[in-house]
Amino acid sequence: MSAARRTRHPAGFTLLEVLIALSILLIGLVGILILIPQALDTGMRAQSQAASAVLLTNVDASLSLGFSRSDPAASPRRVRFFVEDALDAITLPDSGERKFPRDDDDADDADEWVPSARAGTDVYPARIAASAGVSEASDASGLLSFDLAVSPLTAPERGLPADADGRPRAYVAKVRIYRAFQQGRANEPIATGEFLYEYPR
């Protein structure tokens, strides 16, 4: 028995031993390789989140400015706002919810969020990225975009009645910031904000 072992051991490793060793090595290497891009993505996400806080503040300030400058007698009511140099407007609904940017395909679906900056082709992400100082323009993963949903706040139980003419007095704007990806990846929401505004009277 011991003589047989002595003869066998010097002959080297068996194929099975080599395969098992290679498998373990492979699993370890693949594990490391998977972790590295994840770690980098986590870092990029942290960077985007820091920048999204700036962007969220800018959207809020822009909406505050837009609401303060709105025409009380206008019908329908519109609020102009901008991010960077892109000036735009949203029509305020008397009921329900209005979204920006508006997706014509989902025009009848008032409950669904409209993802902005589809596949990175929209002009907004690049401008927003510049405004938020996120990253170089070529770095698609650093781009931010946002969408906005505005709805009236007239709930009597919350002490917020409508104006004398029946139109809402206050509005809630929900803002979502996304990391805008290219190459068909879905945009990833990274920050949200909810702001309250009063329409001028």
Partner 1 sequence: MNTRDRTAFTIIEMLTATAIAVLVIGAAALLLSHTVRGTRAIEESLDLVVRGRAAMDWIARDLATARAGLLVLDEPAGPSSQSLRWAGLRTNAGTIAAAEISYAYVPGSPSRLVRTVDGGAEEEILSNVRRFRVEDFEAGTGRFREIHAQTIWTEPPSAVRITLTIADVLGRRERTVRRVVFLGKRRNP
What is the Cα–Cα distance from 179 to 116, expressed in whole angstroms? 10
Cα distances (angstroms) measured from residue 60 to each of 54, 93, 130, 146: 10, 19, 17, 12
Binding flags for partner 1, 164-183, as an x/- string (CB under 8 A) = -----xx-------------
**Burial degree of 176 (CB within 10 A; 0-12, 13-18, 19+):** buried
Q: Which of residues 125-164 bind partner 1 (CB under 8 A)?
A: 130-135, 153, 160
- The token pair at 11 is 């002959």
Cα distances (angstroms) measured from residue 177 to each of 11, 59, 144, 197, 198: 64, 10, 7, 19, 23
Nearest approach, Cβ of residue 166 and partner 1 (Å): 16
**Burial degree of 103 (CB within 10 A; 0-12, 13-18, 19+):** middle
Binding flags for partner 1, 88-117, as an x/- string (CB under 8 A) = ------------------------------
The correct pick among 3, 4, 6, 184 for binding partner 1 (CB under 8 A) is 6
Task: Assess 40 for contact with partner 1 (CB under 8 A).
Answer: yes
The correct pick among 2, 4, 5, 10 for binding partner 1 (CB under 8 A) is 10
The correct pick among 34, 46, 137, 186 for binding partner 1 (CB under 8 A) is 46
Name which of 103 and 130 has its Cβ closer to partner 1.
130
Q: Is 84 left (phi over 0), alpha (psi -120 to 50) or beta?
A: left
Specify the stretch interacting with partner 1 by CB under 8 A; choose among 15-23, 51-59, 110-118, 178-186: 51-59
Helix axes 15-68, 123-132, angle to 10 degrees: 90
Specify the stretch interacting with partner 1 by CB under 8 A; choose among 66-74, 93-101, 115-123, 182-190: 66-74
Name which of 110 and 172 has its Cβ closer to partner 1.
172
Peptide bond into 101 cis (omega under 30): yes
Q: How many residues belong to the site for partner 1 (CB under 8 A)?
A: 46
Residue 164, CB-side half-sphere exposure with 13 Å CA sphere? 3
Summarize as ranges the residues that interact with partner 1 (CB under 8 A).
6, 9-11, 32-33, 36, 39-40, 43-44, 46-47, 50-51, 53-54, 57-58, 60-62, 64-65, 67-69, 80, 82, 84-85, 87, 130-135, 153, 160, 169-170, 196-198, 200
